[in-house]
């Protein structure tokens, strides 16, 4: 991107605010933005990662879901829900291979993208980025491990509670909280994030609503009793009946 571009400053600012790039020297951030091209993708754009893995992408605005599905059963599991400042095709950055993942934009998104080779070159020139990248990758792996463990060990109520808590940054003593990124998602989408189906998630949310734990209606999710939700997420694995 040309540093003279109307969009250059906001792109650099976006990276400076993101957990992955914050703390880097401004010249390193400006350098990667200069190497990038700016793209916008319309909402509900779906494409397999085979079409994107040769470029490294950084979301500037909007949300992207990475998922896998079984074409025979039609069932889908969301592996990651990414928001502004987060990268995708990051595993391909590391191993240079495509991965069997489907991408879907949940909003109109703006992103920066650059060829993998250039991204690797930039990484070599800025090893200080690894201080941010490695913990980020660790978090991603933990998240996948958490998802696998939840699917195998916990019931739907616990999985749903844990999902909502993953997207809450507020202190535990706060009662009313709006989760980030997932608060306007459909029940079907939430179900696909915990390996369940819409009717089960809908029934659970209605149940919690009656108990005063959440306020859930079409396209809106708010936690009304955070501590109770935390309690519901702490179900010991041996009690689970998936």
Partner 1 sequence: MVQENSCVAVYDNHLQAEEAVHLLQKNGFDVKSLSIVGKGYQREEHPIGFYNTGNRIKFWGAQGAFWGGLWELLLGAAFFWVPGLGTVVIAGPLVSAFVAALEGATVVGGLNALGVALYSIGIPKDSIIRYEIAIKSDRYLLIVHGDQSEVERAHDLLAAGDARDVTIHLS
Shortest Cβ distance from residue 115 to partner 1 (Å)?
11
Shortest Cβ distance from residue 4 to partner 1 (Å)?
5
HSE value, Cβ hemisphere, 13 Å, CA-based, for 133: 16
> Contact at 8 Å (CB) between 172 and 227?
yes
Rule CB under 8 A: choose which of 38, 75, 120, 132 binds partner 1.
38
Return the range that interacts with partner 1 (CB under 8 A); candidates 40-48, 79-87, 156-164, 200-208.
Answer: 40-48
HSE value, Cβ hemisphere, 13 Å, CA-based, for 63: 12
Please give the distance of CA 228 from its chain centroid, rounded to a whole number: 25
Q: How far is CA 31 from CA 11, 67, 88, 212, in A?
A: 12, 31, 19, 50
In sequence order, the β-bridge partners of residue 105 are 64
46 binds partner 1 (CB under 8 A): no
Shortest Cβ distance from residue 52 to partner 1 (Å)?
11
13 binds partner 1 (CB under 8 A): no
CA torsion sign for 183, 185, 188, 193 is negative
Shortest Cβ distance from residue 98 to partner 1 (Å)?
17
Return the range that interacts with partner 1 (CB under 8 A); candidates 38-46, 75-83, 211-219, 228-236.
Answer: 38-46
Residues 55-84 that bind partner 1 (CB under 8 A): 61
> Contact at 8 Å (CB) between 172 and 230?
yes
Query: In the complex with partner 1, which residue's Cβ is closer, 24 or 66?
Result: 66
Rule CB under 8 A: choose which of 41, 53, 80, 129 binds partner 1.
41
Shortest Cβ distance from residue 78 to partner 1 (Å)?
22
Q: How far apart are CA 166 and CA 233, in angstroms?
A: 11
40 binds partner 1 (CB under 8 A): yes
User: Pairing between strand 109-115 and 220-223?
Assistant: unpaired
Q: How far is CA 223 from CA 23, 31, 158, 199, in A?
A: 32, 41, 15, 20
Rule CB under 8 A: choose which of 9, 25, 50, 108 binds partner 1.
108
198 binds partner 1 (CB under 8 A): no
Contacting positions for partner 1 (CB under 8 A): 1-2, 4-8, 37-42, 45, 61, 108, 110
């Amino acid at each position: 991107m040309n540093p003279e571009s109307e969009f250059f400053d906001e792109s650099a600012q976006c990276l400076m605010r993101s957990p992955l790039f914050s703390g880097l020297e401004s010249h390193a951030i400006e350098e990667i933005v200069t190497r990038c091209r700016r793209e916008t993708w319309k909402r509900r754009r779906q494409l397999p990662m085979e079409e994107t893995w040769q470029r490294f992408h950084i979301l500037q605005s909007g949300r992207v879901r990475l998922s896998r599905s079984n074409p025979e059963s039609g069932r889908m599991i969301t592996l990651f829900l990414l928001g502004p400042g987060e990268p995708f095709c990051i595993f391909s950055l590391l191993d240079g291979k495509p991965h069997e993942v489907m991408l879907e934009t949940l909003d109109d998104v703006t992103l920066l993208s650059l060829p993998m080779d250039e991204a690797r070159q930039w990484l070599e020139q800025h090893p200080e980025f690894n201080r941010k990248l490695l913990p980020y990758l660790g978090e991603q792996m933990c998240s996948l491990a958490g998802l696998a463990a939840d699917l195998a060990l916990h019931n739907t109520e616990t999985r749903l509670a844990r999902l909502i808590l993953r997207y809450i940054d507020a202190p535990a003593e706060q009662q009313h909280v709006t989760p980030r990124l997932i608060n306007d998602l459909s029940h079907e989408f939430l179900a696909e994030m915990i390996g369940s189906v819409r009717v089960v998630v809908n029934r659970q949310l209605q149940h919690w609503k009656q108990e005063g734990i959440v306020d859930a209606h079409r396209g809106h999710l708010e936690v009304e009793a955070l501590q109770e939700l935390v309690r519901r997420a702490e179900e010991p694995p041996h009690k689970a009946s998936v």
